[in-house]
Structure 1
Amino acid sequence: MSASRTASLGPQHPDTLASRYNLARTLGELGRWQEAVSEHESVLAVRDQLLGPEHPDTLGKPQQPRPCDGPAERFS
């Protein structure tokens, strides 16, 4: 679904980013930690780039929890 949303809406559309975040969560649930972290960090980077450092969603608020907080250290 993420690829089809990216193709139809564009890589920076909020719905595309939401789909990619859900993909990262699913990858984490499947134990595919490296892929989950990579996807999650990529989504946050795009969001932060789009919104800017002074936007309320990026300033002074904790980041959304990573889809695999905790088990990720297994591969570090």
Structure 2
Amino acid sequence: MINITRLNGEEFVINALYIEKVQALPDTTITLSNGKTYFVKESKDEIVSRTTSFYQQVGLINLQAKGVDTDVETD
């Protein structure tokens, strides 16, 4: 789930798994897989960033980018 803000300032949470398309028209438009459309204040890049973070939290994206070095030897 990600937090977003409608153009009128109302904040709400949306399930990022249902996001099909994000466009800047120039307002940011989020289209869900069920066809619902939301116009939001956040930029397209911010929506993508929040969605990516959500996917990482739930394990849908490789978490290796956290910087864990598996080749380090320990004594």
Q: TM-score range by the shorter chain?
A: 0.3 to 0.5
TM-score, normalised to structure 2, is 0.35
- More RCO (CA 8 Å, sep 6+): 1
TM-score, normalised to structure 1, is 0.35
The structure where strand makes up a greater share of residues is 2
Structure with higher Rg: it is 2
